[in-house]
Structure 1
């Protein structure tokens, strides 16, 4: 998932909403059942309002009704899985994963639902991540990338005039911040919340393809990945440049909170953190995530998905809804209200030149060449949980990154064999 979840979980209720007259005679008396994730992190109602407005406009233009249910992120995956298991799959689900449903032949493919212009408008990295066996089933709903954030005030106090562009420069900058008394010179969140993205950024910066090789097979224990994590441990963790506590015990949200309190010199952040940091009064700087020898050829991308289920046989109606959903107006509305990136070429280009969204420009530039985790693999879900739980151990005293990566590589091989 792309956004913060703690406040969404606190909502604790499922919000049902419908457009004008969601029951009654329409195209064959069809009412599409849509279940979508709650993106609000502050108790607001913008997700509910977005879908209500979109449904109302869609129904005014089509003889099809839509009944939408909004569910917190902490509950939605289990809810959709249970509905599918009970033979009550929704027509449309907007969630964080699609692979298992595609593998079980539960989903319509993109070309069964979308017009050619709409399908061809998705950004290429998101299309690749949404494909199984070269067929697209996951439709990217919203996206994000990462940049290196830094606190300009702390940099100035430490006498630092330029942001780092290489790993060595990042290490030297962190050392200066430590000498100036900064609590977290570089915050390294390898706790179980989102450790896989932080790890992937370092792997890509070291020249690897992340968790898989270019052919798509798992390659966690590659020499490049070993070298990258060894560098992080010896150059940042062991000299005390990542702040108090073990990186494996620092979650992303805690790192972000520390950044907004002015306790962090540098960390890798996403668009919504930029807004919250500025609201907290942080003089924020942002640059591409440094690599070993400069800017990496790619950075880590993140996406959430929307998909159409076959169970109720509403292919035509789902297709009409999706073709409406993916207009620039609707794509940009959702992305902008949630500090996310649009998944389409035309909306990205429009947002990039719009002064209202200038804060997102650097993220938009990174997205077309980003690389996503192997979301198309049914084995990725359980393997990712292992990575998030265990990758922080690579930074523990007396433990080698190679040994932890070897254990994870073994789990990946076992998962790959089960998948086949």
Structure 2
């Protein structure tokens, strides 16, 4: 099945301004000869979003090890600042007609990416390389669904799978006389008040570098950001459950029980011992363990009283944007290497993500890792609570995400009340979808 996207054609036509596109290959991208190194290796450009604090060292080490053992392929990496930042950079390179070969695409962009860029579905890449059963044999069904869009295409190879967890400074908890992790958001608020009064530490931060953790927070009050009926999407931000949760969040910030700053700043404060609690991705675990100079503890994501836990799957797929079959085969060689059980274990160890392949989950090395590092238990225990990350359709995706971020800033700064801000954001996004 070919994958040729209308926006790619628009981009190519506008760039060339010349009216004629290059011939399309079997998978729908412009054909071209594969770039090679001086040693004759096919060169693959891989875009990732992993800083040093969240798996960057592991990415670099695995690329170096792959290049050393491969006779035919050399991978060159490019770091991008976040998933949405990668999409913006990809737009710019597509406009210049110089696409990379392999890119990390967040689950939140699983609808936007295939409607905007030329790519080859993961199952076709595997088939081209003679590995037709790679996806079905390697991934559990629920993980495959994370990489599948509303049209049923396997957009990419599921790679990073995380869920949000609760981190706290056990030493500060002891100083404040708190003897257990909070299980509800009401308990988070109460603990924050005690910590502020008794220790003077900044109490709490909820991840703000995207809308993923906010979705998890709202979902645990019974709220949803987005609902699908077939292939039709509708924003549901202004529902009462979301309004009440945002009012609660604002009151915590107003009362100095939560801090409204960037998550990078919050992680630095937490690791320095100046922030007592942070609700963020399990993917930050390795960085926190390495940097923190105190007793770190983790627990499940809190819920509102009377509600059940629902946490979106964070992370990404590896999507293939190569422009010819030689590159696609080279990409598949690299992908197979990354998904070897030992390399997945190293990836999980270096990031805090959960194991997502059958071979890695069943490996002795993974079982030993979970036994040796009990801090990982919180993320592993929430697998049954995972829901999809809200993926806004088509061209609305980037604007929808920004609109939600703006709404959060308006509420937490006090410039708009929660009901007004959520209603305005909801109406704007539904207008974009239509």
Task: Confirm or deny a common fold (TM above 0.5).
Answer: yes
**Equivalent residue for 2:135?**
118
Q: Compute the TM-score of the two structures, normalised by the length of structure 2.
A: 0.76
Q: Within 2, Cα distance between the matches of 1:174 and 1:101?
A: 40
Q: Determine whether 1:213 maps to 2:227.
A: yes
Aligned length: 378
After TM superposition, the structure 1 = structure 2 runs for residues 103-252 of structure 1, keeping only pairs within 5 Å, are: 103-104=115-116, 106-114=118-126, 115-119=132-136, 121-123=138-140, 126-132=143-149, 133-188=151-206, 190=208, 193-194=209-210, 196-208=211-223, 210-213=224-227, 215=229, 216-234=233-251, 236-242=252-258, 247=260, 250-252=261-263
**Equivalent residue for 1:377?**
393
> Bigger shift: 41-50 or 156-165?
41-50
CA shift in 2, pair 1:276/1:88, >3 Å: closer
Contact 1:32 1:92 in 2 (8 A): no
> Equivalent of 2:429, from 399, 407, 412?
412
Q: Determine whether 1:280 maps to 2:292.
A: yes
Q: Compute the TM-score of the two structures, normalised by the length of structure 1.
A: 0.78
Contact 1:113 1:322 in 2 (8 A): no
CA deviation vs aligned residue, 1:29-83 (integer Å, no higher than 9, x gap):
xx253323263426986533311212443x35xxxx3232211213754554344
Contact 2:46 2:100 in 1 (8 A): yes
> Bigger shift: 258-267 or 271-280?
271-280
Q: Structure 1 regions of 5+ residues with no counterpart? A: 1-20
Q: Within 2, Cα distance between the matches of 1:140 and 1:161?
A: 38
Tell me the secondary structure at the aligned position of residue 234 of structure 2: coil
Tell me the secondary structure at the aligned position of residue 45 of structure 2: strand
**Equivalent residue for 2:323?**
311
CA shift in 2, pair 1:267/1:95, >3 Å: same
Q: Within 1, Cα distance between the matches of 2:214 and 2:237?
A: 11
Q: Within 1, Cα distance between the matches of 2:73 and 2:353?
A: 25
**Equivalent residue for 1:70?**
77
CA deviation vs aligned residue, 1:239-276 (integer Å, no higher than 9, x gap):
43225xxx2xx111111122122222222033454444
CA deviation vs aligned residue, 1:75-132 (integer Å, no higher than 9, x gap):
7545543443344433333454564442247222232133335345335554333222
Q: Within 1, Cα distance between the matches of 2:271 and 2:134?
A: 42
CA shift in 2, pair 1:411/1:70, >3 Å: same
Q: Determine whether 1:326 maps to 2:339.
A: yes
Q: Determine whether 1:268 maps to 2:268.
A: no
Q: Structure 2 regions of 5+ residues with no counterpart? A: 1-35, 127-131
Contact 2:237 2:426 in 1 (8 A): yes
Q: Determine whether 1:366 maps to 2:382.
A: yes
Contact 1:38 1:70 in 2 (8 A): no
> Equivalent of 1:393, from 387, 393, 410?
410
Displacement, 1:384? 0.8
Q: Within 2, Cα distance between the matches of 1:298 and 1:87?
A: 41
Displacement, 1:407? 1.3
Contact 2:407 2:422 in 1 (8 A): no
Misfit runs of 4+, over 6 Å: none
CA shift in 2, pair 1:376/1:392, >3 Å: closer
> Equivalent of 2:360, from 323, 329, 347?
347
CA shift in 2, pair 1:95/1:337, >3 Å: same
Q: Within 2, Cα distance between the matches of 1:130 and 1:295?
A: 28
CA shift in 2, pair 1:284/1:207, >3 Å: same
Tell me the secondary structure at the aligned position of residue 131 of structure 1: coil
Q: Within 1, Cα distance between the matches of 2:88 and 2:117?
A: 19
Query: CA RMSD for the aligned pairs?
Result: 3.1
Q: Within 2, Cα distance between the matches of 1:260 and 1:105?
A: 38
Q: Within 1, Cα distance between the matches of 2:137 and 2:426?
A: 35
CA shift in 2, pair 1:320/1:368, >3 Å: farther
